[in-house]
Amino acid sequence: MRPYGPAALRLCVGAVFLAHGVQKLFGLWGGSGLAGTASLLASWGLNPAHPLAILAGVAELGGGALLILGGMTRSVALVLMAEVAVAVWNVNYQKGLFLTTAGGGPGVEYRLVLLGALLCLALAGPGALSVDEWRHSSAEAMRAGRARARKV
């Protein structure tokens, strides 16, 4: 059952990032859309805000989709960790730990959980039922087939 732990984590984290990417880019599910995301980034002092909003939205949407599929899992996890770390540094760390704080906004609690989950995926890999696993097993089978052919 061990390979299914990372798979479950990958599916959950991928769904969260995919949904946030859709909110950032298209304004669905209560999101602010690209203009709202750019405005928020500008208020945090991140400029140029519009290209960064596009980059963040595409990273979350594409990264979430790739995590769900289990493709390029380790690379995607590292990219998303960098994005989350920027948010922690620019927004959350000075507001404390908890999501609901008197410090004027969310603390690092939620983003810390995301960082931990992404780190687990970067270290452990995608687990079962993933494109990465399929590609790895296909490559091993090809190498084994070549090894048998040489022994003949």
Cα–Cα separations (whole angstroms), residue 127 to 32, 62, 71, 132, 145: 34, 19, 11, 9, 24
What pTM, to 2 d.p., does this model score? 0.84
Rounded distance between C-alpha atoms, residue 29 and residue 18, angstroms: 12
Number of independent structural domains in the chain:
1
Is-contact 64 15, C-beta < 8 A?
A: yes
Q: Which domain holds residue 21?
A: 4-151
Residue-by-residue pLDDT tens, the chain, 152 positions: 888 999 999 999 999 999 999 999 998 888 888 999 999 889 888 889 899 999 999 999 999 999 999 999 999 999 999 999 988 888 777 777 777 766 566 778 888 999 999 999 999 999 889 988 888 877 776 777 766 656 55
